[in-house]
Structure 1
Amino acid sequence: MTPTATNAAYDSIAHWYDNLVGNAHTAHDDPYFTPLLDLAGDLANQRICDLACGQGRISRTLATHGANVVGIDASAELLTIAARYNSDHRSVEYRHDNAHTLDSCQDAEFDGVICNMALLDIPDLTATISSTYRILRPGGWFAFSTFHPCFNAPRSAELIDDTGHHHRTVTDYFTEGFWTSDRRTGPPRIVGAHHRTLTTYLNTLINAGFTLRHIQEVPGPTPGWQQVPPVLAAIADKPSQ
């Protein structure tokens, strides 16, 4: 699988992915998404872009919080599934678009952009962050979550010592790029992912013009992920002038 094919590959696994997330109508019980809701704050009457929305569970959740939502994804098949869930959420619109350019979006169209666990699927981070900045109004915000790059590098694993303590082993952290692994579960096993350092994520935001507001390291539900965080969540602001 080549990096440029990563998003298109979700067309071929769309129904598998929908089943993986439990055919979830919303994401209120997702421990890796709820931190983004906390960071975003009051969403009532805000126009929000759900970037890389997949089958729409985040879009529908945002709508239940009073937001007017546009879900954008590169996978036409995932968007077809999203539309089937959408009968009760008329404030959600879906668009088939590329995150690198967001051609379907006007400049300063949105109050906020949320990208939940999807930046790792997108090949060109710089282009995506730049396009996100463009579609936000002055004073708008961008909230995202992703694999914590410090503990979820491609060559990382869990080790349990003789005392039963869980440890995370990591190497080749500074080697960025596209990867797949037969040892992983979920989409990284099938369609791969893009590893970037924490420095790359933060500097890409800063270089695009964002001001970092808050970062949260999110613990996981299993013993191995309670000692180190599997997920990083952050929110950054576009200057008001």
Structure 2
Amino acid sequence: MERLLSLPETQIRNRFDSRGFRLEVVMVFVFGLVGSIGMLFFSWQVWSITDNMPAYTEFELTGEVVGPILFVFFVWILYTVTAHLLANLYGGRGPIVRLFRTSAWAMIPIALWLLLRSIVQIFLFYTMEFPSNRQELSNLGFDIEEQIASLLETGLEDLIYVATILLGIVFVVWSWNYLSIAVQESKDLSPDEAKKVAGVPAGILACYLLYLAFQWQPLF
């Protein structure tokens, strides 16, 4: 367990002076896939009972599945670009490519939170009363787009899901710790300066999760 917890810090120090960041791109993509599992389960349930899915609804469901992947890449870019610009104000040195390599390892806590979120989503969708066929879906009394949206909202308006979103802030704080190490190593800053720099993008992400929790938003 101790070795697992030290993995991000070890990799940050091992990778900061490597060439390219293809490994990190693949890793962040896998993190996004982990976050998509819950919505993939919901989409599979809908597709299994619906024939001739309307194009718009199919597009929306695809967006729900792809959303976490885009979210993870957005966070990675947010972490890297924001930290790079702020670190330069403190006199930091080093190319942004180096920070892209190291900041990706700070995403591991975010990936663990997304895994937890997917597990909670699967649990909520599995335990809710779901129509077994298209006829039962039609009996809900709305058109199919509204029916599916209603099912999605019902599944994700549970307090357990809201608590999971709020718990994500704890994982962001954990991620901030690794990001500060990445900034320190990649931009040659002092530990205190690196923590201040890393605190800005991590704080933005924490505020966003707080907004999602209070808005009860299922989407990223």
TM-score (norm 2): 0.24
Higher normalized contact order (CA 8 Å, seq sep 6+, divided by chain length):
2
Structure of greater Rg: 2
Which structure carries more strand by proportion?
Answer: 1
TM-score (norm 1): 0.23
Which structure carries more helix by proportion?
Answer: 2
